[in-house]
Structure 1
Amino acid sequence: MLLETRGVRVSLRFPDGFTWGVSTSSYQIEGGNEAADWHAWERAGKVDPAGRACDSWNRFERDVDLVVELGLSAYRISLEWSRIEPEPGRFEEAAIARYADWLAYARSRGLRTMLVLWHFTNPVWLTEKGAWLSPEAPVHFEAFVRKVVPVLAPHVDDWATLNEANTYANHGWITGEWPPGRRLDYPGGFRAYDGLAEGHRRARAAIKELLGEATPVGLTHVLSWAHPAGRWGALSVPCMRFWEWLGITRFLDRVAGDIDWLGVQYYHDAPCRPIGMDLDDGNPPRTDMGWRICPEGIYHAVMFAHRRYGVPLLLTENGLADAEDAQRGRFLLDHLAWLRRALDEGADLRGYYHWSLLDNYEWAYGYEPRFGLVAVDYDTCERAIRPSGRLYAEIASANALPEGLRPDLRYADGTPSLAPR
């Protein structure tokens, strides 16, 4: 099956064995994580409280059943470090056992499991030491990994050490919206990058020591597509290169020799002026959070990662805030069509995980954004699959885009910045 639209020719079908999954994270869905630095941030009045979130700590089996009902093949979750190690060196065996039960249940339902060992939040005691700026942080993280991996390994297919080091460093040390709340502290952000890179290397080495050198270990990183805004053209190139370095290569180049696969995460593009961004460029559709919707960018992000790092790729997050579910179906079709084009051009892309299975706690934005293929009633924590979830189920079941629905493969203006150099 082939589709030709606006001069671009792509296959509708995805490769045999392509993984279709969904992603979540512990703090955003579990509830009750009161030993985390983010909970302390809430108590300080910085953000709305997460409370019980989606109550997934008590409803994980229901969540797995929803993944199965959607006909998907994989589920990505994360561990809450603070729940497992609320004090340095004191591990809650019951919490580790609960995660093991979850993962075992997911495997028993036929799902491939991906486990992320760190997804933004830290134990309060680590943040009090300076979080990832502390030279102790990578050492503590390695000890945590060595504790949990032997117990969870029988139930895990894919290991990811870290989620989005760039997002964490940006919001913690540049915007100040997240703990520790520093603003425009670029040296601090770079030190956080370096601490996380060392934590990844130590964790990966520990996993390979425990499970065998052949065990693939990766991490996930958000890549935005920087390109010229409007008429600026080549004048935007220095700005584009700066944003690529700051958000992508400053971290990933440091760990490039220590990843067996890379999780690419894409949400929006970044139109560049000679200095700064022009987020109004082209007046594209917007999500409920005001984020630009630019499907073409997912192609450039994947091709950049493929050409620069040369490792197997997974698209581990892609989604939008859309409370009315008015745009999510089109968003899925258009982004997946551009992913298919990346596959046609040789990208070693092995799966797609939508963000997110559930509506959840969206950090500094609280509960207003609705990212879920499954709607959550926060009063009752009842779940209901949205129409876009049914569409995604149809795509996954067929391993192809529906023939009767035409994706939009329009090009954005300007020369792509995420290109081999």
Structure 2
Amino acid sequence: MAATMLGALSVGARKAFAQKRGNLPKGFLWGAATAGHQVEGNNTGSDIWLLERVKPTIFSEPSGSAADSYNRYVEDINIVAELGLNCYRFSAEWARIETEKGQFSQSALDHYSRMVDQCLAKGLAPVLTYSHFSTPRWFAALGGFEEKDSAEMFARYADRLTRTVGDRLALAITFNEPNIARQLAAMPAFGELRKAAGQMFASAAREAGSNHFSSSLFVDPDRTESNMLAAHRAGYQAIKAGPGSFLVGPSLAIADEQGVGDVNQAEEKRRTLYGAWLEAARGSDFVGVQTYTRNLVGPDGDLPIPENAERTQMESEFYPSAVGGTIRYAAAITGKPVYVTENGVATEDDTRRVAYIDGALREVRRCIDDGIDVRGYIHWSLLDNFEWVLGYRPKFGLVSVDRGTFRRTPKPSALHLGRYARSNRI
């Protein structure tokens, strides 16, 4: 199954899918996602590890051992396969691979190579993210993506990783949500967040013996976006150089921006938050859509969440239909195939996760029925994990993780998604 899937994904241009209603395209990816720093644990060489521990910090708690997935990846991959999914999305940690500038760890490269092999052994298509927010501490101490040579440094890392695992990949993502800084900057409370983050960065710089410490999550996007776009392009070229022949693209954080009234700022907001990266996706092989909710946008910007709306643990509106709008938008702007590379909900009530999955997949089905080239649905997240500044409180996982023993327990929602995947029908 894996070899067939890899072959199908290597074809550059495919005609629009023509399927009987209910059946999904052959080779459609059903998966669950994780990110290295959020699940591996003890990522001590990364920028985020330091930022979690300095005083002051905006992180509610440190990541610590996370879900111990660096040691338990075989169990995690086996769970994905046992659920009936056919792909696993995970990220490599640049900080583990390039421990100091120009110094690469063969043992870390071998680790990620074993992860790819384990996916293939279990019949799963390996979907690899090259950068999922965290970067090496030394890179952040040089200025991160504010540094003019950052694109060259990222491409060097991408080249080294690809030469190790590229011959076995099914799909690759250069950057996870590289437009997140734009979204944060658009938040009403961003001014206070930036002030607090500035104090945290100053402490991190002193700790790292640097004049400046930068992280792509909280920095002013006007200082980093052009360099990150250049890094995506350079990384794309390095990855496509091979070995291997697979699709490469970025995954973008996109909310369903719904205009309210005849005059509203929805389209202007879309251009600001997504325009540059959707243009980058036009020059890539696909666009990854990562959607969790909608925003209502009026003449003066975002409107409050409707008073009677259900809210998630992220204080966003429970709105699974949002993914339909973002798939349509991304496909229309880029003209590229779409993968839903993240979609999910933060909730302690797993019955609501089941309802969310059902609502989201109905929208995926409608998009496919309308002729949009949607090639996969990857749920966030496989595991309850470390959700950055919010720590371990939000529960996105299909699988719960005991923080003391690391015991994994699939939730009913995991089995529910698996039934869709096994039938390849919505």
Q: TM-score, normalised by structure 2?
A: 0.85
Counterpart residue identity of residue 245, structure 1:
R
Match of 2:81 in 1: 68
The answer to whether the Cα contact below 8 Å between 1:23 and 1:356 also exists between their aligned partners in 2 is yes
Counterpart residue identity of residue 155, structure 2:
E
The answer to whether the Cα contact below 8 Å between 1:170 and 1:189 also exists between their aligned partners in 2 is no
User: 1:11 Cα shift?
Assistant: 4.1
Match of 1:131 in 2: 144
Unaligned runs of 5+ in 2: 1-19, 203-213
Q: How does 1:373-388 map to 2 (within 5 A)?
A: 373-388=398-413
Residues 282-313 of structure 1 show CA distances to partners (whole Å, capped at 9, x for unaligned) of 63222122211222321110011111111111
User: 1:188 Cα shift?
Assistant: 3.3
Counterpart residue identity of residue 287, structure 2:
L
Query: How far apart are the structure 2 equivalents of 1:390 and 1:81?
Result: 33
Match of 1:419 in 2: none
52-61 vs 186-195, which moves further: 186-195
1:226 aligns with 2:226: no
The answer to whether the Cα contact below 8 Å between 1:279 and 1:292 also exists between their aligned partners in 2 is no
Query: How far apart are the structure 1 equivalents of 2:169 and 2:218?
Result: 36
Change (3 A) 1:317 1:274: same
Counterpart residue identity of residue 289, structure 2:
V
The answer to whether the Cα contact below 8 Å between 2:324 and 2:363 also exists between their aligned partners in 1 is yes
User: 1:210 Cα shift?
Assistant: 3.1
1:359 aligns with 2:387: no
Query: SS at the partner of 1:69?
Result: helix
Query: How far apart are the structure 2 equivalents of 1:77 and 1:187?
Result: 24
Q: How does 1:208-223 map to 2 (within 5 A)?
A: 208-211=240-243, 215-223=246-254
Counterpart pick for 1:259 among 272, 280, 284: 284
The answer to whether the Cα contact below 8 Å between 2:91 and 2:130 also exists between their aligned partners in 1 is yes
Query: How far apart are the structure 1 equivalents of 2:185 and 2:123?
Result: 38
The answer to whether the Cα contact below 8 Å between 1:169 and 1:192 also exists between their aligned partners in 2 is no
Query: SS at the partner of 2:107?
Result: helix
Match of 1:93 in 2: 106
Residues 344-400 of structure 1 show CA distances to partners (whole Å, capped at 9, x for unaligned) of 111100110000100000001100011110011111110001011111111111112
Query: How far apart are the structure 1 equivalents of 2:181 and 2:94?
Result: 16
Q: How does 1:272-311 map to 2 (within 5 A)?
A: 272-281=297-306, 283-311=308-336
Match of 1:324 in 2: 349
Counterpart pick for 2:178 among 147, 165, 168: 165
- Counting matched residue pairs gives 384
Counterpart residue identity of residue 227, structure 2:
G
The answer to whether the Cα contact below 8 Å between 1:75 and 1:111 also exists between their aligned partners in 2 is yes
Match of 1:201 in 2: 233
User: 1:187 Cα shift?
Assistant: 9.5
The answer to whether the Cα contact below 8 Å between 1:133 and 1:188 also exists between their aligned partners in 2 is no
Identity of aligned residues (%): 31
Counterpart pick for 2:29 among 19, 36, 39: 19
The answer to whether the Cα contact below 8 Å between 1:37 and 1:127 also exists between their aligned partners in 2 is yes
Please tell me the root mean square deviation across aligned C-alpha atoms, in Å: 2.3
Query: How far apart are the structure 1 equivalents of 2:176 and 2:423?
Result: 30
The answer to whether the Cα contact below 8 Å between 2:81 and 2:122 also exists between their aligned partners in 1 is yes
The answer to whether the Cα contact below 8 Å between 1:26 and 1:77 also exists between their aligned partners in 2 is yes
Match of 2:366 in 1: 341
User: 1:15 Cα shift?
Assistant: 2.7
Match of 1:36 in 2: 46
The answer to whether the Cα contact below 8 Å between 2:292 and 2:345 also exists between their aligned partners in 1 is yes
Unaligned runs of 5+ in 1: 1-9, 402-421
Change (3 A) 1:171 1:120: farther
Q: TM-score, normalised by structure 1?
A: 0.86
Residues 84-118 of structure 1 show CA distances to partners (whole Å, capped at 9, x for unaligned) of 11210111110110110111011111000100100
25-34 vs 303-312, which moves further: 303-312
Counterpart residue identity of residue 372, structure 1:
G
Query: How far apart are the structure 1 equivalents of 2:154 and 2:410?
Result: 36
1:368 aligns with 2:393: yes
Residues 114-151 of structure 1 show CA distances to partners (whole Å, capped at 9, x for unaligned) of 00100001111111121111111111111111111111
After the TM superposition, list the runs of 4 or more consecutive aligned residues in structure 1 that deviate by more than 6 angstroms. none
Residues 148-170 of structure 1 show CA distances to partners (whole Å, capped at 9, x for unaligned) of 11111133111111110111454
Query: How far apart are the structure 2 equivalents of 1:14 and 1:293?
Result: 26
Residues 305-342 of structure 1 show CA distances to partners (whole Å, capped at 9, x for unaligned) of 11111111110000011123130001000110011101
Change (3 A) 1:284 1:12: farther
Counterpart residue identity of residue 45, structure 2:
A
Match of 2:121 in 1: 108
The answer to whether the Cα contact below 8 Å between 2:127 and 2:172 also exists between their aligned partners in 1 is yes
Query: SS at the partner of 1:86?
Result: strand
The answer to whether the Cα contact below 8 Å between 1:12 and 1:337 also exists between their aligned partners in 2 is no
126-135 vs 168-177, which moves further: 168-177
Residues 161-204 of structure 1 show CA distances to partners (whole Å, capped at 9, x for unaligned) of 11101114544895437685999x99931231111110111011
Query: SS at the partner of 1:396?
Result: helix
